[in-house]
Chain A
């Protein structure tokens, strides 16, 4: 972003990478896949790089409002400084916080989750898929993340993106607004689960594997971690892959 600013230009979008997308090894692959798509389509985008900080989502949901406010106000200063108008992010937690919680702190941007952004690119004909898609006819199931789904009512965009793969979309019994959480939200990602009869991601992993799909599509780096473990617990890590919708599209883009 600093380079654009130095050149007196402004990018079409700011890609908000998020902490998971920046540091988590698995999530970095999602980041790279999304960037590959942006490059192929020719979108002029920027990242904040070292100037990006955690949005504060996990701290706020754990109950620590001070840390949330520090992160949020600092990020808003940076974003407003660069006069950012449009943000795309591959993390539904960042998306929710930027879109719903920053405006009342003075951060007003058009915020789009990458599921919606990819759908827009596909609808506009900017993403062309390979003729012989490797997902053609394969069973894919889609896991709704809570922060894209119930929290923001986005259920169709990611499904439309998957339709572009020509795959057979099979739904889990608990899907869309009935979707079962992966177990990571509300800062659970950063602590052990409380005592119970099983883990939430094991329960969801079982449900996803039972669909018989060979790919579980996700839209969230935390769901990715949880579901990958859930599939492992089922002993299906060789036959069932958990992939982000950006990775699926990146594999098939021409």
Chain B
């Protein structure tokens, strides 16, 4: 009997790990559709960002109440992994509470702590469900979440509550071990049941708990919840430069240099490949932009802070990230074939891009170091440089700068007129 259970467990576990790694590989491939950028400088600073932003959740604490609840769920997730390790080892080796004899008196304390965390996780998830579905917090109910994204969020919260309840019920039924801090309070509920029934309850909960976790693992790559993994690399690769700095375009720099100061431009022959300007589709974006898209948990702090969105414009930085991920998934499945579609227009409209004030509020707000602005500005570059598509007023501004060295139609000779006025 034992050997069959062990075998079943090993098969379930192996299958879950296999399926997850296969999907993880696909996501990695999709992210690498993006163009290359070097983001390995200053490792010390980057590790500091991982510690502060990912482990420490520094930016979450811009909203303290939600941050505390989220921290419960996060800490629960991280720490209960120790319990899952025990469960997996038990499953493979056919043991029961393998760590109990090893840890001795410490074991019930440890499980007690896990139980407290489990209760806090349930509390956090319950409040989050209420915020989403009853209070209807605005940023959690905007129209880009209609359909799957909204269900996705609810499924995750409900699953987490169910998993924690299974864990607590399992401990309650396991009366052979000393009563644990939380589940020990509830043993009365199960009193009067035969040992066989108790064992059956304990075993069922054990199986449902671990199978639930393995299923959840495989749900992650299809869900916004993937941030629990990708927030960490995303913090490492986050921008270190001042947010106001825009990415340079060396190809254009070179071309202009050839025009203005040919003696400085170097003698290497111009490349035969016509460089692409800006981004039209996800493979024109950087791999960091795509990692951003997969790290997005659709919390909408970016959109809630976006001046364009606040004043009713179509732009929503969260939608930019969701669109980018959807398109990366789509393009990944095509395997180098063309489908005649692109991120620009089929997903993100010109109107959205035109509404951005480059104020960096979205970048500032994102708890997992996503930069929606970088994507917007690359798409704008494509519009202007590849398609000459700009509002009439912008074209006037361009020609004013080109001809009068100022964005308005003033004579360059009048640039110091104010000074002459002051001296007279």
CB–CB B397/A58 < 8 A: yes
A54, A71, A105, A153, most chain B CB atoms within 10 A: A54
Q: Give the contacting residue for B351; candidates A31, A70, A194; CB below 8 A.
A: A194
Nearest B residue to A21, CB-CB: B418
Question: What number of A-B contacts does a CB cutoff of 8 Å give?
Answer: 219
Q: Tell me which of B142-150, B179-187, B253-261 binds A.
A: B253-261
B254-294 vs A, CB cutoff 8 Å, 1 = contact: the mask equals 01110111000000000000000110000000000000000
Knowing A63-B377, A194-B308, the reply to whether A150 touches B243 (Cβ < 8 A) is: yes
Q: B28-36, B328-336, B404-412: which one contacts chain A? A: B404-412
B8 contacts A by Cβ under 8 Å: no
What chain B residues lie within 8 Å of A64 (beta carbons)?
A: 384-385, 390, 394, 398
B42 at the interface (CB under 8 A from A): no
For the complex, is B64 an interface residue (Cβ under 8 Å from A)? Answer: no
* Partner-contacting stretch, out of A160-168, A185-193, A242-250: A185-193
> Which A residues are in CB contact (< 8 Å) with B313?
193-196
Complex A-B: 22 CB contacts under 8 Å: A19-B405, A47-B416, A52-B405, A62-B394, A63-B377, A63-B384, A65-B249, A67-B401, A70-B256, A71-B401, A73-B256, A100-B242, A101-B248, A151-B243, A185-B358, A186-B358, A193-B355, A194-B314, A195-B351, A198-B312, A200-B307, A200-B310
A63-B384, A150-B243, A191-B394 are known; give 8 further A-B pairs, CB within 8 A: A19-B406, A52-B405, A59-B401, A63-B380, A74-B260, A96-B244, A151-B242, A196-B308
Instruction: Say how far B28's CB is from chain A's closest CB, in angstroms.
Output: 30
Residues in B whose Cβ lies below 8 Å from that of A53: 405-406, 412
Within 8 A of A (CB), among B44-67: 62
Contacts of B358 in A (CB 8 A): 61, 146, 185-186
Assembly CA distance A69 to B253 (angstroms)? 6
B interface size (C-beta, 8 A): 69
Residue of A50, A56, A186 ringed by the most chain B CB atoms within 10 A: A186
Bitwise, B361-394 to A at CB < 8 A (1) or not (0) is 1011000000000000100111111000011011
Residue A178 at the chain B interface, CB threshold 8 Å: yes
- In the complex, the answer to whether B401 meets A56 with C-beta atoms within 8 Å is yes
Task: Tell yes or no: A134 within 8 A of B by CB.
Answer: no
The answer to whether B422 and A35 touch across the interface, beta carbons within 8 angstroms, is yes
Question: Is B415's beta carbon under 8 Å from chain A?
Answer: yes
A52 CA / B257 CA spacing, docked (Å):
19
CA distance A28 to B422 in the complex (A): 10
Of the candidates B356, B359, B402, B414, the one whose C-beta lies within 8 Å of that of A23 is B414
Q: Is the CB of A151 within 8 A of B244?
A: yes
Partner of A152, one of B244, B259, B364, B385: B244
The dominant DSSP class at the A interface is: helix
Q: Which of B305, B314, B385, B394 is within 8 Å of A187, CB to CB?
A: B394
Question: Are the C-beta atoms of A197 and B418 separated by less than 8 Å?
Answer: no
- Inter-subunit contact B308/A200 (CB<8 Å): yes
Cβ contact of A194, chosen from B249, B354, B381, cutoff 8 A:
B354
**Other-chain contact of A49, B257, B360, B419 (Cβ < 8 Å):** B419
Given A65-B381, A70-B256, A150-B359, also A77-B398 (CB < 8 A): no
Flag whether B245 is at the interface (Cβ < 8 A).
yes
**Residue from B364, B380, B422 within 8 A of A177 (CB atoms):** B364
Instruction: Tell me which residues across on chain A come within 8 A of B415, comparing CB atoms.
Output: 17, 22-23, 49-50, 52
Interface centre among B245, B261, B354, B358 (most CB of A within 10 A): B358
Interface residues in B313-336 (C-beta closer than 8 Å to A): 313-315
Min distance, Cβ A16 to any Cβ of chain B, angstroms: 12
Which of A54, A153, A186, A187 contacts B405 (CB under 8 A)? A54
Chain A residues with Cβ below 8 Å from B277 are 65
> Which residue of A is nearest B305, CB measured?
A178
Cβ–Cβ < 8 Å partners of A208 in chain B = none
Beta-carbon contact of A62 and B412 below 8 Å: no
A103 to B245 CA separation, bound complex (whole angstroms) = 11
Contact with B along A40-52 (1 / 0, CB 8 A): 0000000101101
With contact pairs A70-B256, A151-B243, A186-B358 given, residues A63 and B312 touching in the complex (Cβ less than 8 Å): no
Contact with A along B235-252 (1 / 0, CB 8 A): 000000111111011001
Q: Which residue of chain B lies nearest to A196 when distances are taken between CB atoms in the complex? A: B312
Closest to A66 in B: B252
The digit string for B1-35, where 1 denotes a CB below 8 A from any CB of A, is: 00000000000000000000000000000000000
State how many angstroms separate the Cβ of A63 from the closest Cβ of chain B.
3
Interface set, chain A 93-132, CB cutoff 8 A to B: 96, 99-101, 104-105
| B246 touches which of A50, A61, A188, A203 (Cβ 8 Å) | A61
* Cα A111 to Cα B405 with chains together (Å): 21
Confirm or deny: B311 has a beta carbon within 8 angstroms of a beta carbon on chain A. yes
Residues on B with C-beta less than 8 A from A198 are: 311-312
Does A241 sit within 8 A of B, measured CB to CB? no
B413 in the interface (beta carbon within 8 A): yes
Measured CB to CB, the closest approach of chain A to B377, in angstroms, equals 7
Is B357 among interface residues, defined by CB-CB distance under 8 A?
yes
Cα distance A28–B363 in the bound complex, in angstroms: 33
- The answer to whether B360 and A151 touch across the interface, beta carbons within 8 angstroms, is yes
User: How far apart sit A178 and B307, CA to CA, in the bound complex (Å)?
Assistant: 11
By a CB distance below 8 angstroms, the chain B residues around A35 are: 419, 422
Chain B residues whose C-beta falls within 8 Å of the C-beta of A146 in the assembled complex:
357-361
A180 sits at the interface (CB 8 A):
yes
Cβ-based interface call for A232 (8 A): no
Q: Which residue of B lies closest to A181 (CB)?
A: B359
| Nearest chain B residue, comparing its CB with the CB of A36 | B422
Complex Cα distance, B385 from A67, in Å, reads 11
Beta-carbon contact of A58 and B357 below 8 Å: no
Out of B351, B394, B412, B414, which one reaches A190, CB within 8 Å?
Answer: B394
Residues of A within 8 A of B377 (CB): 61, 63
A158 interfacial by beta-carbon distance below 8 Å: no
- Give Cα A32 to B242, complex, Å: 30
- Cβ of A60 within 8 Å of any chain B Cβ, yes or no, is yes
